[in-house]
């Protein structure tokens, strides 16, 4: 019997183990993604703290949960893609981990004399007018100009708050959906590994 052919450092064995590991991780990622998506139910009301979030409208959170192999760490990465739009990129992380602390509003800008600032909301057009998505997800036409007086700066700061909300916002309680899905599917890993190397 040519026992050396089955040593763990032989390329044929390493290739088989590598192929099996990727297959197992892919299946596990698929299971966790499916469970996480199923936990996000479409309903009008918000979910209770500690429960998976509710799905609303297009259900972007549910749609954009993916999994993929990470060759650098030889592992599977499972979770939602960072969403685009005003502050939406933070939404999945805030839902998963929450916390009742106050969070600084990164869209707010302090307007001062000599700098640029908002002078009007709602003008139809103009070279210094552009569309802006406010904190209520509405697109609004905002006109900007250089601020020359303290009254203009104060007015611009009021408009900036109207557009982007207060300087600090209360961060909601956690509504986890990925960690519970992972924990629910974790016991299946042993069965996936069984007879996986062929």
Task: For the full predicted model, state whether its pTM sits above 0.75.
Answer: no
Cα dihedral 147→152→155→159 (10° resolution): -20
Q: pLDDT tens digit string along 7-35?
A: 445 565 456 667 888 888 888 999 999 99
Q: Are strands 139-146 and 116-121 parallel, antiparallel or unpaired?
A: antiparallel
Q: pLDDT tens digit string along 30-75?
A: 999 999 999 998 888 888 888 988 887 777 788 889 988 887 788 8
Structure token digits, residue 25? 């991780």
**N-to-C CA span, the chain:** 19
Count Cβ neighbours within 10 Å for each residue of 121-141 and write b for 16 or more, e otherwise: eeeeeeeebeebbbbeeeeee
Domain locations in the chain?
9-101+172-193, 105-170
Strand locations in 154-195 (E): 168-170
């Amino acid at each position: 019997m040519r026992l050396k052919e089955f040593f763990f450092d032989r390329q044929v064995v390493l290739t088989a183990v590598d192929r099996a590991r990727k297959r197992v991780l892919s299946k596990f990622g698929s299971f966790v993604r499916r469970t996480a998506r199923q936990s996000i139910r479409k309903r009008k009301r918000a979910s209770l703290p500690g429960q998976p979030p509710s799905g609303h409208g297009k259900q972007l959170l549910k749609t954009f949960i993916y999994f993929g192999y990470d060759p650098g760490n030889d592992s599977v990465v499972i979770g939602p893609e960072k969403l685009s739009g005003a502050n939406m990129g933070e939404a999945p992380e805030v839902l998963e981990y929450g916390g009742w602390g106050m969070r600084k509003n990164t869209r707010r800008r302090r307007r001062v004399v000599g700098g640029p600032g908002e002078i009007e909301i709602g003008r139809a057009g103009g070279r210094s007018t552009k569309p802006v998505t406010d904190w209520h997800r509405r697109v609004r036409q905002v006109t900007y100009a250089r601020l020359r007086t303290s009254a203009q700066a104060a007015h611009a700061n009021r408009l900036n708050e109207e557009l982007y909300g207060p300087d600090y916002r209360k961060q909601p309680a956690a509504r986890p959906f990925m960690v519970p899905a992972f924990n629910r599917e974790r016991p299946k890993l042993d069965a996936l590994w069984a007879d996986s190397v062929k």
